[in-house]
Amino acid sequence: MRFRDRAEAGSLLARKLEHYKNAPDLLVLGLPRGGVPVACAVATAMNAPLDVLIVRKLGVPGYDELAMGAIASNGIQILNDSLIRHLDIPECVIQAVIEREREELNRREREYRGVRPPAEISGKTVIIVDDGLATGSTMRAAIAALRLQHPAKIVAAVPTASAETGEELKQEADEVVCAITPEPFYAVGLSYEDFAQTTDAEVRALMAAHLPERLN
């Protein structure tokens, strides 16, 4: 099975989340950029508010795919202390990476949300949505950031994922919902007919269309 695009993927994913429809204190968060079109379709189907959770991985210099931590909306910062000690990464290097990624995080905050503050997380059932899971590193960082804000429940929801990654994620999220788990799994994009990169402008437009007052 292949999804036509992220919007269709979100609509199909929403069917597996039907039991959350109209639930009190429900919040849907999209991981920019590609997760936002999926999350928008889910939020619409759930009759729930939509926001973005911006997460930036802190890559080890020279090995950017290896994360030594992450920063997220609401000033959340998480560091992998054991990895940092093992690689003997100097504090000045860590701070330089944090500063660079925070600049991009702040830019995206302004671009997507305008002057509105992030949504309140505490006590909410939060469905956090991306367009797929390969290694799951971004979703793990997002879950860790959300835990620090004391939600009632975290549901990780994606249209497509590696079965192995989905199982591993169950150790961190309260619930993991996935529409399809292709076997063998090679890449998220192979589950889509149209997997063009989502732009900043598209994210802003989706947010404005779902909740126009958030971006005034």
Q: What pLDDT, on the 0 to 100 scale, is given for residue 15?
A: 97
Every domain range in the chain assigned CATH 3.30.1310: 56-113
**β-strands 50-52, 153-160 pairing:** unpaired
User: Class assignment of domain 56-113?
Assistant: alpha beta
Measured between alpha carbons, how far is 119 from 112 in angstroms, rounded to an integer? Answer: 13
Token reading at 11: 């609509």
SS3 for 112?
helix
pLDDT tens readout for residues 71-128: 887 788 888 899 999 999 999 999 999 999 999 999 998 888 877 788 899 999 999 9
Comparing CA positions, the residue from 180, 179, 53 lying closest to residue 112 is: 53
Mention every residue, 6+ apart, whose C-beta is less than 8 A from residue 170.
176
Q: Which residues contact 186 (CB under 8 A, 6 or more apart)?
A: none
Chain region(s) in the chain for CATH 3.40.50.2020: 6-53+122-215
Specify the fold of 6-53+122-215: Rossmann fold (3.40.50)
Q: Is the pLDDT of residue 65 over 80?
A: no
State the pLDDT at residue 192. Answer: 97
pLDDT at 213 over 70: no
Residue 211 pLDDT: 63
Cβ–Cβ contacts within 10 Å for residue 205, how many?
Answer: 14
User: Is the pLDDT assigned to residue 216 strictly greater than 60?
Assistant: no
Determine what percent of the chain is predicted with pLDDT higher than 90: 71
Position 118 scores a pLDDT of 83
| b/e sequence 181-193, b meaning 16+ C-beta within 10 Å | bbeebeebeebbe
Query: CA angle 158-162-163, nearest 5°?
Result: 100
- What confidence score (pLDDT) does residue 212 get? 47
Q: Phi and psi at residue 40, in whole multiples of 5°?
A: -60, -45
The identity of residue 67, as a single letter, is A
This prediction has a pTM of: 0.87
**pLDDT tens digits for range 21-45:** 999 999 999 999 999 999 999 999 9
Q: For residues 215 and 105, which has the higher predicted lDDT (pLDDT)?
A: 105
97-101, 138-142, 212-216: which is most confident: 97-101
**What integer pLDDT is reported at residue 116 of this predicted model?**
78
pLDDT tens sequence across 153-191 = 999 999 999 999 999 999 999 999 999 999 999 999 999
